[in-house]
Amino acid sequence: MGHIFFFLHMIGTLALGFYLVLPFILSGTAKLSAPAKEGTLSAIGGFNRFAQYGLVIQLLTGGYMMTKGEYSVPWMIIVTVLLLAMFAFGGIMSKPLRLAAAGMRENRDVSAETSKIRTMSMLLMLSLVVMIFFMVYNTII
């Protein structure tokens, strides 16, 4: 049973890989035309939703595997806080994504929304990299 949960955990990790490349995708959108930006932002919103489902998979499978393993309490707290932070950053990012896509359709200035999206994407990438570090080196703490 543990192998099945580990496999599902790795599937969830692949879904989160989007957050690693998101800041680089966003940096390339500045050169795009308005319709292309709108399409890109809509696609990013869909991928963000997909990655949020990956986070749910991570929560369920990781929680199960933590109950079966020998992990230190500080490590479990750090990993749980990072996962919750990723949930929060992804959720916070969804509203500016919607507003920016709608603003592009209405030919409004969406620089405030895109700066929020960039900030949240950097925080998501940083959280995921730190999470990967603690997953690989789980014996440090």
- Per-residue pLDDT of 23-48, as tens digits, reads 999 998 888 888 888 889 999 999 99
- Euclidean distance between CA atoms 25 and 58, whole angstroms: 24
At 110, phi and psi to the nearest 5? -115, 25
Using only C-alpha atoms, the chain has a radius of gyration, in whole angstroms, of 17
The answer to pTM > 0.85 is yes
8 A C-beta contact, residue 104 and residue 34? yes
Task: From 62, 75, 64, 65, select the one nearest 138 (Cα to Cα).
Answer: 75
pLDDT band at 91 (very low <50, low <70, confident <90, very high): very high
Asked whether the CA dihedral 37, 41, 47, 51 is positive or negative, the reply is positive
